[in-house]
């Protein structure tokens, strides 16, 4: 039979090495895990900030385009009012020259009401 003492010593050294490794890796792994967690939270906060900035920029662009469209609409209304004003100037001139607008005949009515006996309509 062979001597069991070298196997016992080798096994004991292996377990001591295993325990020493566990004692060294345990705290370091906790620090490493916390560092990764902090980096993940920082990346998430940075992404949220970038998203908020992009959304705010999109709202700003939309508001400026809406304001530009409103300005264009107001310019169109002003132009239409100017055309109407010019046509009213012509009508005032005609009225001032002729003294009245009697010569402009209103259109005759196309339908006239004629009551009939016995029919309520």
Say what the pLDDT of residue 4 is: 80
Does residue 53 register a pLDDT over 70?
yes
SS3 114: coil
Q: What is the mean pLDDT of residues 65-89?
A: 91
3-state secondary structure string across 10-33: HHHHHHHHHHHHHHHHHHHHHHHH
Q: Assign residue 118 a region (left: φ > 0; alpha: ψ between -120 and 50; beta: otherwise).
A: left
Q: What is the mean pLDDT of residues 35-49?
A: 95
- Residue 37 confidence class, pLDDT cut points 50, 70, 90: very high
Helical (H) or strand (E) element with 69 = helix 5-98
Q: What are the φ and ψ backbone dihedral angles of 105, each rounded to 5 degrees? A: -85, 135
């Amino acid at each position: 039979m062979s001597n069991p003492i070298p196997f016992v010593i080798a096994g004991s050294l292996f377990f001591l090495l295993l325990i020493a490794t566990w004692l060294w890796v345990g705290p370091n792994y906790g620090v490493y895990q916390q560092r990764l967690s902090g980096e993940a939270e920082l990346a998430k906060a940075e992404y949220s900030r970038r998203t908020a900035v992009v959304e705010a920029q999109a709202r700003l662009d939309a508001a400026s385009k809406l304001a530009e469209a409103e300005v264009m609409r107001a310019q169109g209304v002003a132009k239409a009012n100017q055309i109407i004003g010019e046509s009213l100037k012509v009508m005032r001139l005609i009225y001032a020259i002729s003294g009245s607008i009697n010569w402009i005949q209103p259109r005759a009515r196309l339908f006239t009401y004629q009551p009939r006996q016995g029919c309520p309509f």
